[in-house]
Chain A
Amino acid sequence: EAGVVQSPRYKIIEKKQPVAFWCNPISGHNTLYWYRQNLGQGPELLIRYENEEAVDDSQLPKDRFSAERLKGVDSTLKIQPAELGDSAVYLCASSQEGRQGHYGYTFGSGTRLTVV
């Protein structure tokens, strides 16, 4: 079974430019998450989807960040325009609900963004 697939693995852009990240979750996982991880920190949630609905986007900087999950499968996270402080690793994860909730997330390999 394929895991969570993310692309690209690395991205270097100049500030004020747009950038997009793509994620395909594990088949059958209806919940998808985008996290951001800064160096030396734990991942922080940006947005959570249940199927195609964004159920928690309270920590998404909506002035420059946007996300979509069309048809409840793959997802795209966009930043426009990028700022120097956006340099981080962007992680996508998915999970499947069980009797006691989910049993942990599976993370993709992440996209390392460098804004110069």
Chain B
Amino acid sequence: QKEVEQNSGPLSVPEGAIASLNCTYSDRGSQSFFWYRQYSGKSPELIMFIYSNGDKEDGRFTAQLNKASQYVSLLIRDSQPSDSATYLCAVNAEYGNKLVFGAGTILRVKS
């Protein structure tokens, strides 16, 4: 079992819709969780991080965390074609203070 798992996609949504990206992790001791966006040929850029159970909102983005289910999600409201990218979920390992990344989900927003 991989430490951080994501559906590779591609996930296709129409412009203006809500895109829902999911991630599960195996390290029950993980305390912090991150979402990165990576455009083709570019390096990952941080979108959001979340530490506590529940929701955290930042503009059109909402991160959701459920530690009991070891599940993290990212919702993108009013999706735009410019949101088309690969979204990487990253989990801070309990020991070693390092981020472990999933393989990413490709999102395509169609206009």
Contact = CB atoms under 8 A, between A and B. Distances in A.
A binds B: yes
Interface of A: 31, 33, 40-45, 48, 55-56, 89, 91, 100-110
B43 A110 contact: yes
Contacts, number: 52
Nearest to B100: A45
B101 A43 contact: yes
Contacts of B98: 33, 45, 48, 56
30 contacts: A31-B97, A40-B103, A41-B103, A41-B104, A42-B4, A42-B90, A42-B103, A42-B104, A43-B44, A43-B101, A45-B98, A45-B99, A45-B100, A48-B96, A48-B97, A55-B96, A56-B96, A56-B98, A91-B43, A100-B32, A101-B32, A101-B92, A104-B46, A104-B49, A105-B99, A106-B46, A107-B44, A107-B45, A108-B43, A109-B42
A82 B46 CA distance: 31
A40 B86 CA distance: 9
A104 to B, nearest CB: 4
B88 A42 contact: yes
